[in-house]
A and B are shown apart, each in its own frame.
Chain A
């Protein structure tokens, strides 16, 4: 009965490769997010999607391309991976912020290591 699930949990790959991280939520939320947590543990928002539409792109390089096939899924594809992409990536979901002040629900993260 996991609310927000991400796969894979760990991802080790070489520079230059392309990889994807998948996220699914079963909470009936219409808004989904990707956050990046670097080695210093700062959580930085990358993208926000509402009803499958991109709302926020927080100056993320074009190599990162999120895709939302439906409201329950938000996948993250990363092209030409770089060393600096190594981090933990968290998916989150909520009801639309404007509806009522819905809390964020996070997945347990995907630890990406680029060698």
Chain B
């Protein structure tokens, strides 16, 4: 079973920031928090990951709660091309990475 919970869907306006939440209350010390997104008819695409500290890259920012039981993916300025399903997953030192249902992000022009 997936170890994360996310809202089924969210909506955003173009050019505005988007905060996608993820709860992972059973996270263990060796779990990294990964975010992927899946555009229509494509494979999942890596977005960002982190362990304890907040992370930034060219695609997004990842804010991790101090207790690590939740995290937020931040898209600073949503575009129509950001409409996708966003998956928050926990990746440990094992070989079995489980995906949940994700959040479908709708972006309005």
Contacts and interface: CB of A to CB of B under 8 A. Distances in A.
Interface string A52-73: 0001101000000000000000
A41 B95 contact: no
Interface stretch (A12-20, A75-83, A106-114): A106-114
Contact of A103 (B49, B93, B102): B49
B45 interface: yes
A108 B38 CA distance: 10
A48 B42 contact: no
Contacts of A4: 43
Interface magnitude class on chain A? 20 to 34
Interface magnitude class on chain B? 20 to 34
B92 interface: yes
B34 interface: yes
Interface residue SS majority, chain A: strand
B32 A101 contact: yes
Contact of B43 (A42, A90, A101): A90
A2 to B, nearest CB: 11
A108 B102 CA distance: 18
B21 interface: no
Contacts of B41: 108-109
A43 B99 contact: yes
Nearest to B93: A98
A107 B43 contact: yes
Interface of A: 4, 31, 33, 35, 41-45, 48, 50, 55-56, 58, 90, 92, 97-98, 101, 103-109
